[in-house]
Amino acid sequence: MVDAIVNSDITFKANETLQSIFGWSGHFNIKFMESTKLADDVMGNAQATRILYDADGKITDMDVTVLLNVKNLPGASREYIAMVIAHESVHAYLNYQGYSYNTNQHDLMLSQY
């Protein structure tokens, strides 16, 4: 599931998306892991595991681990899985921009990005 998406260069697309949405020019490294511990209605989850800042306090480099729910995603389309990966990666970025991980992030995504 992840191999097919990585082969289609989702990391590049995630970097490109963050750059276009937030004006961010850092490096975005994604580690994908399968999970059976996510709730059935949760497709994925992302947590930033390493963040580097410049002298102005802006993020210059970030590593993110994306957990993918293998209980329900294997039957999904590759496009849907790619959307889950991108969506969760934006959540990780918003977390480290100071936005709490709740529906306010979804409101922010819909209204501003």
Half-sphere exposure of 58 (CA within 13 A, CB side): 8
Q: Enumerate residues 6+ apart whose C-beta is below 8 A from 28.
A: 11, 14, 15, 18, 62, 64, 89
The two three-digit tokens of residue 42, written as one number: 């949760």
Q: What is the DSSP secondary-structure string of 54-85?
A: -TTS-EEEEEEEEEEETTTSTTS-HHHHHHHH
Pick the range with the lowest mean pLDDT from 31-35, 47-51, 61-65, 102-106. Answer: 102-106
- Residue 54's pLDDT band (cuts 50, 70, 90): confident
| Count of domains forming the chain | 1
What is the model's pTM? Answer: 0.67
**Owner of token pair 């004006």:** 23
> End-to-end distance of the chain based on CA atoms, in angstroms?
27
Q: Enumerate residues 6+ apart whose C-beta is below 8 A from 24.
A: 18, 58, 59, 93
* Model confidence pLDDT, tens digit, residues 63-73: 888 899 999 88
Range of the domain at 76: 2-112
Question: Residue 73 is part of a domain; what is its CATH number?
Answer: 3.30.2010
